[in-house]
Amino acid sequence: MARIRHIAIGTDDPEATAKFYMEGLGLQQVGRVDSPTAEGYYLSDGHVNMAILKWKQEWASVTEGAPKRTGVHHIGFGVEDMDSAQAQVLSAGAVEHVEPKIREEYNQRRPEATGGGNVEVKFTGPDGVTFDLSVHGWAGTDQVAG
């Protein structure tokens, strides 16, 4: 079974949004991001990673299948086996976002998410919600177990 391990929220003020979740709900800061595509914070409750992001580039959110706006941007699921999980969501009607070569190049540019390479595969479900799958997870998560 896949487990929710990552939620990305777009905001115009990542500092204030991160402060709210840390002070209001007790999430801990587990990382920062300042990449060509976004700036912000990675927070966690020890199980789920929450990315609080301000988009720098319009194409960054467009290529992930969601408009450049505030609010929930995408949800990430930790999986044990990428091939079987990918086959399962595709057979259920999901649409994969990019070709594997492009995805690999994208993931290699984003080591800040996990402290190392993170292979995410992004999809859109039937209702237009973007989600990604990862075997390696995100900073501050407990991966798939539990």
Task: Walk me through the domains of the chain, giving residue ranges and CATH numbers.
Answer: 3-134 (3.10.180.10)
Give residue-wise pLDDT tens across range 77-124. 888 888 888 888 888 888 887 665 555 665 565 555 444 445 678 888
Q: Which residues fall within 8 angstroms of residue 82, CB to CB, at 6 or more apart?
A: 119, 121, 133, 135
Q: From residue 14, give the alpha-carbon distance in Å to each of 18, 32, 107, 111, 125.
A: 6, 10, 22, 20, 27
If phi > 0 it is left, if psi is from -120 to 50 it is alpha, else beta; for residue 40 that is left
Q: Looking at residue 105, what is its pLDDT?
A: 63
Q: Looking at residue 38, what is its pLDDT?
A: 87
Could you give the CA distance from residue 59 to residue 55 in angstroms, rounded to a whole number? 9
Closest CA to 11 of 65, 74, 54: 54
Could you give the CA distance from residue 13 to residue 33 in angstroms, rounded to a whole number? 14
